[in-house]
Structures are given as structure tokens and as C-alpha cells.
Amino acid sequence: MFNALVVNKNEEGKTSAAVEQITVDQLPEGDVTVAVEYSTVNYKDGLCVGPGGGLVRNYPHVPGIDFAGTVEASDNPNYKAGDKVVLTGWRVGEAHWGGYAQKARVKGDWLVPLPAGIDARQAMAVGTAGFTAMLAIMALEDHGLKPGNGPVLVTGAAGGVGSVATAILSNLGYEVAGVTGRPEQADYLKSLGATQIVAREELNETTKRPLEAETWAGCVDAVGGDMLARVLGQMKYGASVSAVGLAGGAGLPATVIPFLLRGVNLLGIDSVMQPYDNRLRAWERLAKDLPMDKLEAMITPATLTDLPGLGKDILKGQIKGRVVVDVNA
């Protein structure tokens, strides 16, 4: 028997989550069983611990869209017992039981070996949010972003994606402007390396002007909606925006003018189905380019019993940085 956070749905369609004891036989199909050490809390986890958001297919459900730990048993030729691994994406924690348990069983092809220099706790401090921030920065670099091009904007800066993006960009020598709706987090963002704090109100209203002053050399956008539409008109000539999230809305009330007159690029970032080679590349970059002392400063520790409350908090945009869940505590 081992502990798992199990979400049940009653006949009225209401979900409830609680820590329960389950057995290995109850785990879903897969060729690798992992002794989970740490998991974390992402926006999607908030949905899957709570109302489901259309992501969860069957109940009872074990959420947790990412985890890190040690292989316990493997029928996959690429993994053996004792290997340290990390998992993000592949709809684990949504369609497949996830990391909010002391054990998880998954397809070995979904796993990535932990890179040298990152342990299981640090890997979950990074988690899906940080991994996606790295993918977003890699995409900007692949489209020509270089230090010296000008300030890079990070929206939803005090959240998970935003915090990790801010720390990496600053470490790489970029000037970082962080957009936040929480002015009290300005010192935190400066400690991660932001040199400019932009108030959310300055950017979350649309304007009739399709082009404004050329300001940003790049943007990692966790917010979407009106803010993304506004930012597109403020990008420098030929600059790119990595669209990562929808914390502010899924709409995009924009014009095509920034694309046509300034050659602005809007780059879509998906972490879930990301090919294996690019996953390896991103984890290796994280080990090299994310300062571990700054990662440490983002962490709030938690246990399985804290998750129902934390799930609600992240849906309200109230989590600062990254939560690391010790599933064995």
C-alpha cells in the first residue's frame, strides 16, 4: 500500500480530492514503475485536482502532470531499476494517472533521464512550468534573439513559467522586464534578475493602435488574451513572442499589422507532445543556464495533503514561483 492523492466525482458531478492508500495493482498500464520522490503544482494540476476542466477522462483519478524519482521496475530497454528520471507532459496526470502518489507507472518512452547537475527535487522545482519556459527561450533564440537586442518581456512574471524564464534570461545576459499584477512581488522578481517591473494594468487593455513604440526584443508570454494582443504591437522589428499560456484568457483580439509591417513572429510553445530530442536539449540547457540558487528562491515546499488548497490557489493566480511537493513526507 502507498499514498496517493485520489480525486473522486460524485453523482452530482462534484469532485473531491483526498489522500488515500492504493496498491501497485491499481496503477495504470505502462512498462516502467517509478518510485516518485517529488511532484509539483502547475496550472493544469489546479484543474485536475479540482473541477477537471475537461482534462480528466475517468474517475477515480490521480493527478500530477509531472514527477521526478527513481525507476523501481522496468520492462523498457532504455531504463533499469535505480535510474533517476523526470516526466513532464504526454497527458500524464490528465488522461493517465500522474505524479501525486508515491509510485507511478508510465510508458518508458515518456521519461527523460535526469541530467547531470539536477536532482529530483530541483527537477520538480523546474517542473512543466520551468521546462516550458526553457522551450520558449530556445524558440526565441532559434528565431534570432541575442543579448544586446534589447529588453525581453516576461508576462505573468511572478508565476511558475514567468519566474523560471526571468531567472534564465537574466543569467544569459538579457535585460528582463517582468509584467506582474502583484506589485508586492517586485523585490522577488528583481532577486531573480528582472531589471524592470511593468504593472499588469499597463498592458492588459487593448488599444485601437495596432502599432506602438518598438520596445521589446523578445517576449515569453504566459498570459495570452488582451495582454498578448497589446504586446504584439510593441515588439521591435523582426522580434518574436513565445506564446506559452492563457492565464489571462484564450482569446487573441489582435490585428495582423505587427506581422505584416514589423515582421513580428508569434511562436507557439507546446510542452506536452514535445519530441524526445528537444526534451533532452531543454533539460541539458536548464542544468547549464538556470542558476540553482535562484531556483531555490522560487520554492515553496508542500506535501500531498496540501494539494487541494494549492490547486485552488494556482487557479486564482496566487502561487508565487514554484511549489515542490514531497510525496513521501
Ligand X SMILES: NC(=O)c1ccc[n+]([C@@H]2O[C@H](COP(=O)([O-])OP(=O)(O)OC[C@H]3O[C@@H](n4cnc5c(N)ncnc54)[C@H](OP(=O)(O)O)[C@@H]3O)[C@@H](O)[C@H]2O)c1
Site residues, ligand X (CB under 6 A): 42-44, 128-129, 132, 156-162, 180-182, 200, 204, 222-223, 227, 244-248, 269-272, 314, 317, 319
Return the number of the residue (14 or 316) whose C-beta is nearest ligand X.
316
User: Least Å distance between CB 55 and ligand X?
Assistant: 11
The residue among 27 and 314 lying less far from ligand X, judged by its C-beta, is 314
> From the CB of 265, what's the least distance to ligand X, in Å?
16
- Cβ proximity to ligand X: between 113 and 317 the closer is 317
Least distance to ligand X, CB of residue 272, Å: 6
Nearer to ligand X, 12 or 277 (CB): 277
Q: Minimal distance in Å, beta carbon 135 to ligand X?
A: 8
- Shortest CB 323 distance to ligand X, Å: 9
Residue nearest to ligand X (CB): 159
d(CA 202, CA 212): 13
- Determine the length of the chain: 329
- Closest approach, Cβ 176 to ligand X, in A, equals 13
Per residue, the 3-state secondary structure of the chain, as one string, reads CEEEEEEEECCCCCEEEEEEEECHHHCCCCCEEEEEEEEECCHHHHHHHCCCCCCCCCCCECCCCEEEEEEEEECCCCCCCCCEEEEECCCECCCECCCCECEEEECHHHEEECCCCCCHHHHHHHHHHHHHHHHHHHHHHHCCCCCCCCCEEECCCCCHHHHHHHHHHHHCCCCEEEEECCHHHHHHHHHHCCCEEEEHHHHCCCCCCCCCCCCEEEEEECCEHHHHHHHHCCEEEEEEEEECCCCCECCCCCCCHHHHHHCCEEEECCCCCCCHHHHHHHHHHHHHHCCHHHHHHHEEEECHHHHHHHHHHHHCCCCCCEEEEECCC
Nearest approach, Cβ of residue 65 and ligand X (Å): 9
Q: CB-wise, 43 or 174, nearer to ligand X?
A: 43
Angle in degrees, CA 119, 161, 207, rounded to 5: 170
Nearer residue to ligand X within complex by CB, 106 or 243: 243
Nearer to ligand X, 109 or 205 (CB): 205
